[in-house]
Structure 1
Amino acid sequence: KAQARSTPTATPSPRVATLNPIFDKQDIEPEHRVIADQAFRIIPGHCQAFLKNFYVRYDNPQHRGLGGKSTIILTGSVPDEEFRALFFHELGHLTDLGCFQGTAVAGSTPYMDKDEQIWKDDPSVSFYQISWMNSQAHNRGTTEEDFVSGYASWDMFEDFAESFVYYVLHREVFARRAAENDALAAKYQWFQEHLPDLPKVAKSNTRWDGAIPWDITKLSYDWKPPTELVARR
């Protein structure tokens, strides 16, 4: 009697990763496309929608990175670790200036983005208020220890972007410093409250020894993203 044979079940092959089209461009090196795509996924979808333009320059531009409400421009002439950190710094600017916005009906604030008013119901205002009296001046009594880096003290937008990348890539060191400084504690808490779903994606290779770094994007870390962030889709 002939026995029915079952059809062997093929082992599913991994699905090919689909990169976000904004990064999947021929003039961007493949490794930079993947780095940017993975990093971009950490922010909420409604914030992702604000990125309209992404460019990587390989001609040694004057600035390693530039970012704003809808555009990120990075140099591709740096190590991958630094490229990722630069992306997060500029992603901080996009989150601050693009994703978080207020409305005119809420009223004005002492904070301006060049000639544009930043409105009172913009979530970023409560971050700026921690260290900034207005767009140019620190609050009275503010010290260099109140900023995650020297560059963060430059203006309120760099304060946000440097704090953002510090929170993303060096969260445990940020937390330790926050335990010793009220302003840093308030900034750390701000990210926990306003971006509660930002995953922990890295382990810092730095230790807090009291020396304030100038530039967070130059600090070493181990990239350890959760599986769902790098899973093939």
Structure 2
Amino acid sequence: MSAPTTDADPIEAHVADLSAALHGPVRVKSRMVTDLRDGLIDAARDLSCGREPDHHAARQAVHEFGTVAEIAPSFQRELTIAQARHTARAVMLIVPFLFLCWYLAETWDGSTGHQLPDLVRLLVAHLGGIAASAAFLAAAALAATGALARWLPTPHQLPLLVAWTGTTAAVALAISALTLTLASILATNWPLSTVAGVVTIAFHTRIAASARACRECARVTLAGP
């Protein structure tokens, strides 16, 4: 049977409550929680005049630092920015692979004297435009949350924009995988197209998961306390 809440370590209880209220990248969140715990322990030790902090000193340190409702928004904002950067970085790194896949498919098939169907080529052109736009927005988001953040405030809606940019890129990758599969059936380079399609689906899954996490973080941040 667990101990009553009043007998629990106030610092550990406070850290656990804050951790449960936050959403974001696991590593960043873990580092933030660890730093908070260390800071509270140091504060409690100071209140105990350098001795090992007792229950009263721990409770006082937690009280002075602030309640979960008071401090969670600032922590969540930082986590949301970190998740937005993670999603934007994934889009920036993965989208160029889509262009490489289509280039290889077109080059390989052209070298054998065959051409991809006009409908497939038209779809590729549209997907390329969508993917290029997503990559451009991702690059802008990385800049806005990186170097530019030193001089300009980060727009509150930016993480949500990054989330939907990631979702758009994920949809483009999913359609591309289906199109590559169709191309592998109609063309002579089916081994290359099939492999590219499988890898594209894997990248789609990664970006889609990151974009979904980014939407969740943005929703929590915009909802406020």
Q: How does the TM-score come out when normalised to structure 2?
A: 0.32
Q: How does the TM-score come out when normalised to structure 1?
A: 0.31
Q: Which has the higher helix share?
A: 2
Q: Which has the higher strand share?
A: 1
Larger Rg: 2
